[in-house]
Amino acid sequence: MATFTLYGPALSTYVRTVRMVLAETNTPYDLKAVDIFSDRSAEYLAKNPFGKVPTLEVDGETLYETCAIVAYLDEVVGNGVFTPADPMIRAHMRQIMAIVDSYLYAPAIGTIAIQRLIVPSQGGQSDEAAVRAAVPKVKMALEAIEAIAIGTPYLLGTTITLADFHLMPVMLYLSKTPELAAVTSQTPKLKTWWETVSQRPSFLSVTA
Ligand SMILES: N[C@@H](CCC(=O)N[C@@H](CS)C(=O)NCC(=O)O)C(=O)O
C-alpha cells in the first residue's frame, strides 16, 4: 500500500473530512501538524502554494484541495464505497460539497465559529454584527442542502458518502455555538441526520 502523510492541524474541518475517509477505510497515515494561525513555512508553501490545509502526500507526490483528496482516497483505499453509483445522486453529492465550500464554510467557520469559539478563548469579544450578518448566509446554505438531502439516515440515503464527511465537521463547530438553533430551524432532515452521524465512531475518533 502507498504511504500517506497528511499535513494539517487536527482541529481543521477539512483535515477532519480527509481523516474520516482514512479512518473509515482503516488506512494508516502520518499526521503532520501545520500551524494555521501563523505564517506558513516555505517548505509547506512548496507543497501547497495557497497555504491552506489539508495537503496529502502519497509516496512523496503532493495532492491538495479536499474534494480532490477524498475522491482520490475513495478510489484507492475505499473502493468507491463513498461515491454513489447513480449519476444523479453522485451529482447531488458533489453539489452538497460545492455548497459547503462556496456558501457555507466562510460564514459558518470563518465568521460564526471564529467569533463564538476562537475569539473568546483568546480573551477577545465576539463581533456581534459579523455573527448577525453570517446567520442568514449559513441558514440559506443549510436549507439548500436540506432541499437536496434524502436523509434516511445519511444525506443521500442509506449509504454514507463524501458529502456527509464534508458537512459533518462544519456542523460540529456550529453545534457548539448558540446560533445552531437559528440556522437549523427549517432543516428537520439535517437535525435528525446530525443526531445519527455525530455518534459515528470514525467521526468521534477524529474529533476527540
Ligand atoms: N479549498 C481548500 C480550502 C481549505 C481551507 O480553507 N482550509 C482552512 C482550514 S479548515 C485553512 O487552511 N485555513 C487557514 C488559512 O486560510 O490561512 C480545500 O478544499 O482544501
Ligand 1 mean position, distance from CA 155 (Å): 23
Ligand 1 mean position, distance from CA 66 (Å): 9
DSSP state string for 127-182: -HHHHHHHHHHHHHHHHHHHHH---SSBTTBSS--HHHHHHHHHHHHHHTSTTHHH
SS3 (DSSP) at 82? coil
E strand intervals along 53-132: 55-58, 61-64
Ligand 1 pocket mutation pick from 7, 14, 72, 96 by most atoms within 8 angstroms of CB:
14
Q: Whose CA is nearest to atom 6 of ligand 1?
A: 52
Phi then psi for residue 56, to 5 deg, are: -115, 130
Phi then psi for residue 94, to 5 deg, are: -65, -35
Number of the ligand 1 atom closest to the C-alpha atom of 54: 20
Q: Is the distance from CB of 5 to CB of 18 less than 8 angstroms?
A: no
pLDDT at 71 over 90: yes
Average pLDDT of 115-132? 97
Neighbours of 140 (CB within 10 A): 15
Number of the ligand 1 atom closest to the C-alpha atom of 53: 12
Ligand 1 pocket mutation pick from 7, 53, 168 by most atoms within 8 angstroms of CB:
53
Q: Which domains does the chain have, with CATH numbers?
A: 4-76 (3.40.30.10), 87-203 (1.20.1050.10)
Q: Whose CA is nearest to atom 13 of ligand 1?
A: 52
Q: Which residues contact 37 (CB under 8 A, 6 or more apart)?
A: none
Give me the chain's average pLDDT, please.
97
Average pLDDT of 95-116? 98
pLDDT at 53 over 90: yes
Query: Over the stretch 184-201, which tens digit does the pLDDT of each residue have?
Result: 999 999 999 999 999 999
Average pLDDT of 132-159? 97
Phi then psi for residue 151, to 5 deg, are: 75, 35
Ligand 1 pocket at CB < 6 A = 12-14, 36, 51-53, 65-66
How much is the pLDDT for 133? 98
Average pLDDT of 84-98? 98
Query: Over the stretch 7-38, which tens digit does the pLDDT of each residue have?
Result: 999 999 999 999 999 999 999 999 999 999 89
Number of the ligand 1 atom closest to the C-alpha atom of 13: 10
Residue 25: half-sphere exposure toward Cβ, Cα within 13 Å:
26
Number of the ligand 1 atom closest to the C-alpha atom of 65: 20
Percent of the chain surpassing pLDDT 90: 98
- Do strands 4-7 and 61-64 pair parallel, antiparallel, or not at all (unpaired)? unpaired
CA 90/CA 28 separation, integer angstroms: 27
Grid cell in block for residue 186: 427549517
How much is the pLDDT for 205? 96
pLDDT at 1 over 90: no
Q: Is the distance from CB of 177 to CB of 116 less than 8 angstroms?
A: yes
Ligand 1 mean position, distance from CA 114 (Å): 14
